[in-house]
Amino acid sequence: MYDVLTSRYTFACPRQGESRVSLSSFRTLEPLAGTGHPVVYCVRFACPCGDEHDGLVSHDELDWAPLGLEGGVFLNLMTSRVEPVSAELTELAAARIRAGEWPWSFFCYPEERPRPVYPSSFLVLTPGDGSLGLAVRCPACQRTSVNLVSHEHVDVPFHNDREIGVVEHVFADDVHAAIEEFRSELWSASFDARRLALE
């Protein structure tokens, strides 16, 4: 389902049969009720066919596969042999985490500090003009923050933007309704008018 060498998830597409998308193509992530170990997430993703579709992703595929722990194989052109890549990628990821780097991070607005996170904490991803609106549930305080990040910040583990935008708002407990309201407002004409007034 996840290809570590291309950083793409494979899902079924009603038009094309199969679709390969990056993590930044996901629009919503929600754990399915009743799934425990592993947790299974229902994701809505933007398909290259132009529509949005639903798919299922296990916790391991979402949080661990992008680190290369199940890396697969590659053709080594120096030796003309097919070799596994998982051991090397696992050691690389472990070394970076030991050095204090984290594969994904976001800025928790209520706590006013950056926090390490995994994609299973993402709630909503909304593309904008070159950036991505990312709603994340903080694993520490369980509150939701919205950051504006690059696609690489989400798609490439250990790539952290030098600067991110932070929506200065504490979301209510009914966060899904608030996020959908923010998503609608982000694409509305009133948001564009406010943006022009700020410039």
Residues 109 and 182 in one domain: yes
- 75 and 62 co-located in one domain: no
191 in the same domain as 163: yes
pLDDT in tens, 147-199: 999 999 999 999 989 899 998 887 766 556 666 676 676 666 665 555 454 44
Q: What is the pLDDT of residues 15-65, one digit of tens each?
A: 999 999 999 999 999 998 876 678 899 999 999 999 999 999 999 899 988
Residues 58 and 83 in one domain: no
The number of folded domains in the chain is 3
Shared domain check, 111 and 88: no
Domain that holds residue 78: 71-101
On whether both 91 and 133 belong to a single domain, the answer is no
Q: Cα–Cα distance between 41 and 57 in angstroms, integer? A: 5
Residue 199, pLDDT score: 47
Q: Are 186 and 128 in contact (CB under 8 A)?
A: yes
- Is the peptide bond prior to 38 cis by the omega test (within 30 degrees of 0)? yes
pLDDT > 60? residue 144: yes
Three-state SS at 140 = coil
Residue where the block lists tokens 């399915």 = 32
